[in-house]
Chain A
């Protein structure tokens, strides 16, 4: 389905297509957004691709490359103060997974991938160094 929308005096060309069951692609100008349904039947953003040139649009794959396993690592050192997710839980992009505390800074580590929690590698009150694995998603 192709359409045009107007937002704050600017127009955008939009194209919506169903790639396969439960995978929806929405193209907004030169950007593709891929959505899937979560366990609550809500549409959830799972991937986004920017296409800066016409050449890369022609070469682009229709279906996003979803990695088999994704590790969420911490970029900073600290102590795990709270784990917000459970084994088997489906995580959305932007969802906080762990809070780390260091020097009175509270750091909400968010997931930048969609997936299901396969393993939680840390425990509350555990010290972690920067780069250490926190969560593995499948």
Chain B
């Protein structure tokens, strides 16, 4: 059984989806600490199987992890987000931030008013049995993508677009893995503390879209499971484990 010091890389010039391939591989026991890596994806996907634009130039990979405790599992998206945001900040001039739960945004200056646009996406998928559990941290980083289709331009950007210079995908992957392993070893309190340094919704007024209802409120904090705590009207506090949030 491999440990985190012996990572195996499976490289594909072209692939449907690194997460799908990782799930196929994860059906045997020899897969812990394996990275499935591709130059481009034809069927890359994010949350809810939404299409993830994955042309050559970007960095697309899925890290297969061995069994993680349930307590740590709840914060796995946060650990992944921390590793991605710190890697982008170290290897480029982008001041990347996290939008709960794990959207990675960066300030973009290609329109009249600067806005935060998505520069990376994370999808954690777990295969969960009674005794077994395999986690796959899927990451797509818009590193050296020079342009986006019209429908994505309002919401997506890339490192090369914002800083005018390419980055080395191998170096980005290498630093991500180093930071990921480092933060996975920390306790949940330390992970939450680091997460809050980069998360931009804390203290802000938002509208939570939860199961088709829009709920206005202010973001207070995150609990030990990573749920977002929101203060509504009349000081009522709710916790949301799953949903999307709009800034107001």
Residues in chain B near residue A101, CB distance under 8 A: 47, 242
Q: How close is A113's CB to chain B, nearest CB, in angstroms?
A: 8
Q: Is the interface of A mostly helix, strand, loop or mixed?
A: strand
Within 8 A of A (CB), among B115-150: 122-133
Inter-subunit contact A112/B131 (CB<8 Å):
yes
Q: Would B124 and A125 count as touching, CB distance under 8 A? A: no
Q: How large is the interface on A (under 10, 10 to 19, 20 to 34, 35 or more residues)?
A: 20 to 34
Also in contact, A110 and B70, with CB within 8 A (given A94-B27, A103-B242, A105-B77) = no
* Interface size class of chain B, counting residues whose CB lies under 8 Å from the partner chain: 20 to 34
| Interface hit among A9-17, A33-41, A52-60, A72-80 | A72-80
Near A by CB (< 8 A), chain B positions 11-63 give: 23, 27, 47-48
Q: Give 28 pairs: A residue, B residue, CB < 8 Å, sorted on A.
A: A74-B128, A75-B128, A75-B130, A75-B133, A76-B74, A77-B225, A101-B47, A101-B242, A102-B241, A103-B101, A103-B102, A104-B101, A104-B122, A104-B123, A105-B125, A105-B126, A106-B126, A107-B125, A108-B128, A110-B127, A110-B128, A111-B129, A112-B129, A112-B130, A112-B132, A125-B211, A127-B241, A130-B70
**Which residues of B are in contact with A by a Cβ distance under 8 Å?**
23, 27, 47-48, 70, 73-74, 76-77, 101-102, 122-133, 211, 225-227, 241-242
Q: Which 3 A-B pairs have the closest CB atoms?
A: A105-B124, A103-B101, A112-B129
